[in-house]
Structure 1
Amino acid sequence: MGQSNCSKYYPFNKDHVSEYEMFNKKGKADGTMKYTVSNVTHSEGSITVTINSEFFDKKGKPVMSSAFDMSCNGGTVTMDFKSLMNADMMKQFDNFETEITGTNVEFPNTLTAGQTLPDANIHIKMNMGGINMTMTTDITNRKVDGTETITTPAGTFDCVVVSQSSSGKMMMVKFNSTQKTWLAEGVGMVKSEDYNGNGKLQGTTVLTSYSQ
């Protein structure tokens, strides 16, 4: 498979490509995402990869692209907090001068039902025509719910299910949501679901293809 032994769930091999389709709360196609491992750096005891992310609208038109790092050290994968920014967030901030800080997301190689995972956060400061705006998102209640076998257009996968809560403030407006993510060994994210504060499904992302 060309998969690094350092990372159990996320692919760390150069040129690995994962493609996803996004659906809105009504189940209608809402765009696609493509993640490519563009660079792999080995240092003593750790591996760091750069992942390019591309977002396309439902007509296939490029909307946004960005990059973030992911590293593996001592059996734990650490994901750059910039990965917490979804397509809508990046689209909104694309034309503004931004300063982004935060706490990275950690995924141990060993994930078992009932296990709790460290919190994460991201803080974005924007300069919008001389006006400073801030946005903060806190990722809490991260835990492993269990295992599940799911099927997507990319195949059938044995997954670990991880859930989390998101809360924060964006331009004086508070928000709360929850997410569920299905992870498969050597593949990474296979599916994710986003729910609003009332527990209603807002969007789904599914893996449509991936390369080794």
Structure 2
Amino acid sequence: MRKIFICAIVALLSIVSTTAIAGSDDVMITRDGSFINVKVLRISNSDVNFINLDKKRQGELKAPTDYVYMIMKEKGSNVLFDEEGNQTTSSHVKIDKKDNVLFLNNGKFFPVFNVEIGKNEISYKLKGSKKAPVEKVTKDEAFLLKNSDGTTTLFNNKYIEKMRKAKAEAQAKAAAAPSVPSAQIPTSQTATTSLTSQATPSTQATPAVTTTPNTPSTSTGELKFSPATTLSDDEIVRRVYAKQPYTLYGKGTIAEYIIMKGDKQSQFMGLPTYVQQVVAEEKVSNGLLGVYVKQVLLNKKHEPSKGISASFKSYYYPTEIDTAGTFHLTHDISRDFYLLSSRQGYAMLLPSMPNVGDKLKCGTIADNSKNLFGGTVKLKAEYTDFYVDGTETVTTPAGTFNCIRLKGKVFEDNSAYKVNYQYTWWLARGVGFVKYEIINVDGKDANVPTTILLNKLERP
């Protein structure tokens, strides 16, 4: 439920409740630390209507004002939003994209260098003078640090915690409600992420997640995987993108990983030392957005891997996402001279806003693959005991990311081996896997995990 604002929000908005902004290219910074290139259409007391210039096919989007931290204008005054959504303006400040920029909770921001993040304080020097003195702010004063590589470090996560609390309260309320026959259950709207599509007249009455009597739905506690078969393909794509789940998507996106054993580049299950996951295709089928990922292998010299084994490791595997942001998390199990030909099942279901401690609905992936000689090989991986272990800021060669941390067990069974693994996965919103740790429980080196780190991220 939307909170009720006080009558006089700020003097700027006491005259008009809606401000129209010229169609210049601006940057919207959100309370979860995202920087979005936007064309702002309207700002009202409660919402910001805009176009995401990097994902125009989403159409017009709407974000609650309490979700927005700042709109940095290309020209003219910046628009600031406090934690309640109240608006003020500040003078236009031009910053270089290559700068590290520290943003404070009060809306002030400035380019910095020599940044050190301590337990309770952040020390830095102001850009502009090599002899600049060291200055400090407490972490409680800071909102986020935008790093020169485009990544961000979020210090104020009150909005994320507020959304988690709202979701938990909605789930508790739903669990406490008396049960009624499924045909009589009314459509209800629980807490979701704050970026939503602007409804068109033809879809205005459609809830964010649509389930018809003939639509299959897999449940794990309050989590449901719900195909939206009544929506158009374009609307499904808009809503999936607006939810931004913890998976890699966007046709042409490349996530490159480096494989480490201890402190050294290594190999895992015969793979070269660099692995690229490329989003080769996106398409809507049966009410879900399917994202198809191709794996490309590079050798230690960062060149395309040669030989028979490399040709058998270029394959596609899908991730399916529904309009609530829940998605089938899948994984690569076709390795060592195997080429994936078809896949059934999924590793687990993951919601768009998981909570620490959540147990995840796990499944089994069954692959039909071809081996080096053209024969059919059946591969299977069973995923068990996965849960959200916590949150963590992870730094990799690709940058620093705010992640959720998943832990669980995987049993792999194919014609060559049967083995038990202990997995720890770190996932960042809109990126997917940032870091893996894999321990072969049955192996001799069980105390030395194989680590796979995000080495580079490229978007079209």
Aligned residues: 204
Q: Which has the higher strand share?
A: 1
Q: What residue number does 1:103 align with?
A: 345
Equivalent in 67, 83, 103 of residue 316 of structure 2: 67
| CA-atom RMSD in angstroms | 2.8
Q: Output the amino acid matched with 2:249.
A: F
Shift of 1:134: 4.6
Determine if contact 2:317/2:332 at 8 Å carries over to the other structure: no
167-176 vs 141-150, which moves further:
167-176
Determine if contact 2:385/2:408 at 8 Å carries over to the other structure: yes
Query: Does residue 12 of the first structure (1) align with residue 235 of the second (2)?
Result: no
> Aligned partners of 1:84, 1:71: CA distance in 2, in Å?
15
Query: Does residue 37 of the first structure (1) align with residue 279 of the second (2)?
Result: yes
Shift of 1:148: 0.7
> Aligned partners of 2:258, 2:447: CA distance in 1, in Å?
20
> Aligned partners of 1:25, 1:155: CA distance in 2, in Å?
20
TM-score (norm 1): 0.81
> Aligned partners of 1:37, 1:130: CA distance in 2, in Å?
26
TM-score (norm 2): 0.40
Deviations 1:21-70 (A, max 9, x none): 11135633441111122222246853222222112232434223111122
Deviations 1:92-113 (A, max 9, x none): 324xxx7754421322112111
Determine if contact 2:328/2:350 at 8 Å carries over to the other structure: yes
Go from structure 1 to structure 2 and tell me whether the alpha carbon gap of 1:134 and 1:51 turns closer, same or farther (over 3 Å shift): closer
> Aligned partners of 1:48, 1:99: CA distance in 2, in Å?
17
SS in 2 for 1:9: coil
Q: What residue number does 1:122 align with?
A: 365
Equivalent in 55, 65, 74 of residue 297 of structure 2: 55
Determine if contact 1:6/1:72 at 8 Å carries over to the other structure: no
Shift of 1:206: 0.5
Go from structure 1 to structure 2 and tell me whether the alpha carbon gap of 1:51 and 1:114 turns closer, same or farther (over 3 Å shift): same
| Matching of residues 88-99 of structure 1 within 5 Å | 89-94=334-339
> Aligned partners of 1:48, 1:126: CA distance in 2, in Å?
20
Larger RCO (CA within 8 A; separation ≥ 6): 1
Q: What residue number does 1:136 align with?
A: 380
Q: Output the amino acid matched with 2:335.
A: M
Q: Output the amino acid matched with 1:205.
A: I
175-184 vs 54-63, which moves further:
54-63
Q: Which has the higher helix share?
A: 2
Shift of 1:146: 0.2
Q: What residue number does 1:77 align with?
A: 327
Determine if contact 2:338/2:370 at 8 Å carries over to the other structure: no
Q: Output the amino acid matched with 1:113.
A: V
User: Any stretches of 5+ residues in structure 1 without a counterpart?
Assistant: none
SS in 2 for 1:112: coil
Identity %: 23
Determine if contact 2:369/2:378 at 8 Å carries over to the other structure: yes
Q: What residue number does 1:27 align with?
A: 264
> Aligned partners of 1:133, 1:24: CA distance in 2, in Å?
29
User: Any stretches of 5+ residues in structure 2 without a counterpart?
Assistant: 1-35, 37-53, 56-240, 268-272
